[in-house]
Chains A and B, each alone.
Chain A
Amino acid sequence: MESAYNLKEVMNKPERLAPGHRMCAGCGGTVAVRAVLRALHEEDKAVIGNATGCLEVSSFMYPYTAYEDSYIHNAFENAGATLSGVETAYRVLKRKGKIKENYKFITFGGDGGTYDIGFQSLSGAMERGHDMVYVCYDNGAYMNTGTQRSSATPQFADTTTTPAGKESNGKVQIRKDLAAIMAEHHIPYVGQTTFIGNFKDLHVKAEKAIYTPGPAFLNILSPCPRGWGYEPSALMDMCKKAVETCYWPLYEVVDGKWILSYEPKHKLPVEEFLRPQRRFRHLFVRGNEDLIVEFQKEVDKRWEELQVRCSE
């Protein structure tokens, strides 16, 4: 299934996410959506699902849809269940001879709609085995409502519900590892990725997710310039630093086998990832050095765990 990746060929395919949506300048979310939809084979039709969030309110603002394909938004917490209904309808209508074309089913949710409020619906849809892909564009907070913390928010992040202040160092808790949790559903495919170089990693994982029969989950780190507080043009650099520091390792779990997609030659200190972001500004105040050490420890611990899983 994995064909040789060629950026020029891939980019030559018709665009499936139209411009004119209202996402912020420099948004990582639509970069993720475009990349996933590019992995669809041209001859295949698709129904795109969407949890409420930035993407939904910006990409289907009545009467303007940004999608070339059929699209359904229902609510915040039920993208998994909603698309599972669409996918089931497809199976039965196809069996009854009412539909001839091939359809694929992909739903997008932010980390709010995926890690938190939509977690049950996602878990249920994956456990039931629907032939669909759930894509989380993870920007690590509830950005649509103004950067409130989510369970995907990294520790110490300054958000509007975990503000850093005289008595607070930002979010107290560490991040939930959703890709690992989804892998524990023993579904055929889980991938964690982001935007790197020529987008090969994301493309290959999206194609596997879409064309592996059964449920698949993709977790895509999708930086948010407003919520993270970095210069919008630095999107690709933010992703690179997330990966090179091993804050956001690239890996996949194929039929239960954990596979590391990329191992940095020289793992960068996590400071490199944290420093350009306003939400971590307070970590660089004199006297807070130990917080960065603590952050680094957590990154190291998870990276080691991942390496163990991938070497088994």
Chain B
Amino acid sequence: MISDKINEKSPWQDITEGNKIFEAATSKEFCTGEWRTSTPVWDKEKCRQCLLCTPACPDSSIPVKDKMREEFDYDHCKGCGICAKVCPFDAITMKEGK
């Protein structure tokens, strides 16, 4: 975890030279899911796996595996509701709260 090595308590000696980061995608450690005020709920029965929801997600929070979408990444989903609106099959509904 990058946050074990560099965090708000790190002494100056631990700050990487030139603030460079030598790992990919460390942002995954930061849980933007906490921002959510409403939450998408996926109805697997209704879902036809058209994947139209997946590219419209601003938060890369609809994982795709073997050409099928999987459960929402609730650690990161901010609950914007774009996916629910774009779904042609009403397979995603927004519910209040986290």
Residues on A facing B (Cβ under 8 Å): 7-12, 15, 17-31, 34-35, 38, 59-69, 195, 197-199, 225, 232-237
Can you name 13 A-B pairs with beta carbons within 8 Å? Answer: A9-B67, A20-B31, A22-B30, A23-B59, A25-B80, A26-B78, A35-B55, A233-B80, A233-B84, A234-B82, A234-B85, A235-B82, A236-B85
Known contacts A20-B27, A25-B79, A11 near B51 by CB under 8 Å:
yes
Contacts of A232 in B (CB 8 A): 80-82
- Contact indicator A18/B28 (Cβ below 8 Å): yes
Chain B interface residues (CB < 8 Å from chain A): 2-3, 5-6, 16, 19, 21, 23-32, 35-36, 50-52, 54-61, 63-67, 73, 75-76, 78-82, 84-86, 94
- Residue among B23, B24, B28, B60 having the largest count of chain A Cβ atoms under 10 Å: B60
Residues of A within 8 A of B35 (CB): 25
Within the complex, the shortest CB–CB distance from B50 to chain A, in Å, comes to 8
Contact A21 B67 (CB under 8 A): no
Q: CB < 8 Å: which of B51, B59, B60, B85 contacts A233?
A: B85
Contacting pair A63 B55 (CB below 8 A): no
> In terms of DSSP, what is the predominant structure of the interface of chain B?
loop
- Sorted from nearest, which 4 A-B pairs have the closest CB atoms? A233-B81, A20-B27, A19-B76, A26-B80
A195: nearest residue on chain B (CB-CB)?
B56
The interface residues of chain A lying within 8 Å CB-to-CB of B30 are 20, 22, 64
Whether A66 lies near B25 (C-beta < 8 A) is: yes
B82 touches A15 (CB 8 A): no
B26 touches A65 (CB 8 A): yes
Interface contact B51-A21, CB-CB below 8 Å:
no
Chain B residues within 8 Å of A67, by CB: 24-25
The residue of chain A having its C-beta at the shortest distance from the C-beta of B85 within the complex is: A233
A235–B28 touching, CB < 8 Å:
no
Contact across chains for B24 and A69 when beta carbons are under 8 A apart: yes
Q: Chain A residues near B31: list those with CB within 8 A.
A: 20
Q: Which of B55, B58, B63, B86 has the most CB of A within 10 A?
A: B58
For B19, list chain A residues within 8 Å (CB): 62-63
- B55 touches which one: A25, A28, A198 (CB < 8 A)? A198
Q: How far is the CB of A115 from chain B (nearest CB, A)?
A: 22
Neighbouring B residues of A17 by C-beta, 8 Å: 60
Other-chain residue from B3, B36, B56, B75 in contact with A235 (beta carbon distance below 8 A): B56
Once the chains bind, are A25 and B78 in contact (CB under 8 Å)? yes
